[in-house]
A and B are shown apart, each in its own frame.
Chain A
Amino acid sequence: MMLDIKNLNIWYGGIHAVKGIHMNIEKGEIVTLIGANGAGKSSAIRAIAGLVKGYKGNIVYTRSGEAAVSLSGRPPEEMVKMGIALSPEGRRILPQLTVEENLRLGAYIRHDKAGVAEDIDYVYGLFPRLQERRRQKGGTLSGGEQQMLAVGRALMSRPDLLMLDEPSLGLAPILVSEVFSVIRELNRQGKTILLVEQNAFAALKIASKAYVLEVGSIVIEGTGEELLQDSRVKEAYLGG
């Protein structure tokens, strides 16, 4: 098991945002966490990335060929070094930097110049639009291009586990399918992916395992296909 989340609890002040959830991710899977706004999806993924301080519960991470380690109390920069990358909600592209500079920043922890150059080309291969705009400032990109850049930037640290927080947010449907086909392609190439999404249909279609979060608790779990057929999921998230 690559990631094992046990009894994760997160509070913001007096608000109990995540109420003791259990999740696990096997190597090579696409796991998706779906749910409405404010269900606690982002909090959970942010906790894994080290951006939430003082959560309760345990998150155990096992990198292939290494001993299992607990992630609690570690800062985000350490997570990146251990092979966990997050493409954060809202993309957080640096608007003043060019596309290529943003990608280079994603490789901050790496020092193999040749490998970084290779990976930049790899990202351009995944998203040819980014190559066309390589010298353009991040702030001048469209929402879809920024999302591509956010995913590409997260890939630049060569993560074992790629976490994507709402990659479809604010995108036109055609771009959603473009981004999702790249996610599927990345998975085919061996990346393990944790996907947090509001667009339940798109996410469930590519997920090998899915969790539904409602007001801080996991209410349904199963394979992507099972959940696509599930009447409760259909009613609440897939529009009947």
Chain B
Amino acid sequence: MKTAVRNAFLNLLILGALLGFLWWAPANLDNYKLRIINLIAINAILGLSLNLIYGMTGMFSLGHAGFMAVGAYVSSLLILTVEQKNTMWILEPIAPWLLHLQTPFVVSLVLAGLAAALVGWVIAWPVLRLGGDYLGIATLGFAEIIRILIVNLTPYTNGSLGLKGIPAHTDLWMTYGCFVVVLAFMVRLMKSNFGNVLRAVRDDEIAARTMGVDTFKVRVLAFTIGSFGAGMGGALMGNLITTIDPKMFTITQTYSVLMIVVVGGLGSITGTVIGSVLITVMLEWLRFVESPIRMGAFVVPGVPGMRMVLFSVLLIAVIIFRREGIMGTREFSWDWFFPKPAKTTQTKEARE
């Protein structure tokens, strides 16, 4: 009980520090840095949702970009003004019912998540009958179908032109607010019995079934919740950039999120958070390899896309040398910083 109080106190302390930082940052950091800090939170949300699907429940899904696209479009369409919608649809007129549909940004975020969850739920029924790599390919296919639908449903999505000038509501408070909510939800979920059910479904399907777990339903549920997170993350990302188009949501996008989860450690919430910081910062930092580099007499010309090559090398290295990622399946715990009186308490318990 004492440690519970201690941990609650320390958690509040961290939350306080985060609040302080969020209050301090906008006035003292430039826009570029702020954008990266925002992206960290968004990538963490995306990573956590993919980790729920892949790391915790063991479903190899490559469909994340598809659900992000659904979320980004739903949210953007709900917050664009009527004038913007009127001027933006050039190829075909916008669907009349959509023209006047508007909600506040926060509502649009929730609806974005729900829409992505609905799509995820519908897709889950056929594809979750598959396992392993087949599931990966099927989800990849569905993500691509979603993208192609967006390109072609011009009255609703403005087709390949995308949506521009989306009213920006995404600031640090918004992204980190969402991040803290998602993080708290995930921590609670994975500590609950349902979290253990997910691990059981991942590790030993037969054991899970003999305990009365309907493994298929549990998978569908986890996939749906994960899709919700992807939709919300996609909406935040679209709103941060204020421009979205179908090309944003290709396999490359899924791949970045996947990298965060794999580098951090499949099945570890802590790992995903660390991974999102690391990958987001490195993706930006590595931009220097895409500009010309002078080394003495040598001039290496900048090659666009070079950082993705480096990243692929990094991912290969992780998979060869540290398969379990930074954290493996371990989680952060305050106990790391305190000497353990665990032995005595354990024997005391046993004696009772």
Q: Which residues of B contact A (CB under 8 A)?
A: 193, 196-197, 199-200, 203-204, 206-215, 329, 346, 349-350
Contact = CB atoms under 8 A, between A and B. Distances in A.
B211 A108 contact: yes
A166 B214 CA distance: 25
A97 B203 CA distance: 11
A168 interface: no
B203 A157 contact: no
Contacts of B350: 131-132
A151 to B, nearest CB: 12
A157 B349 CA distance: 25
Contacts of A205: none
Contact of B211 (A80, A131, A135): A80
A92 interface: yes
A51 B196 CA distance: 22
Contacts, number: 71
10 contacts: A51-B209, A76-B212, A87-B210, A88-B207, A94-B199, A96-B203, A96-B329, A109-B211, A131-B350, A153-B211
A76 to B, nearest CB: 4
A167 interface: no
B210 A104 contact: no
B22 to A, nearest CB: 35
Interface string A64-80: 00000000000111001
A156 B329 CA distance: 27
A131 B90 CA distance: 70
Interface residues of A, number: 32
A51 B199 contact: no
B339 to A, nearest CB: 18
A94 B207 contact: yes
A148 to B, nearest CB: 15
Nearest to A128: B350
Given A95-B203, A105-B193, A108-B197, A86 B210 contact: yes
A92 B212 contact: no
A150 to B, nearest CB: 9
Interface in A38-61: 49-51
A92 B196 contact: no
B216 to A, nearest CB: 9
B210 A88 contact: yes
A80 B210 contact: yes
A106 interface: yes
Given A97-B196, A132-B350, A108 B203 contact: no
A97 B207 CA distance: 13
B351 to A, nearest CB: 10
Which of A104, A105, A134 has most B Cβ within 10 Å?
A105
Contact of B193 (A81, A94, A95, A104): A104
Contact of B210 (A76, A81, A132, A134): A76
A121 to B, nearest CB: 12
B211 A106 contact: yes
Contacts of B206: 51, 88, 92
A134 B345 CA distance: 13
A49 B203 CA distance: 20
Contacts of A80: 210-212
A26 interface: no
A50 B207 CA distance: 13
Given A97-B199, A104-B193, A92 B213 contact: no
B213 A94 contact: no
Given A94-B207, A134-B349, 11 more contacts: A49-B210, A51-B210, A75-B209, A77-B214, A80-B210, A94-B204, A97-B196, A105-B193, A132-B350, A153-B211, A156-B211
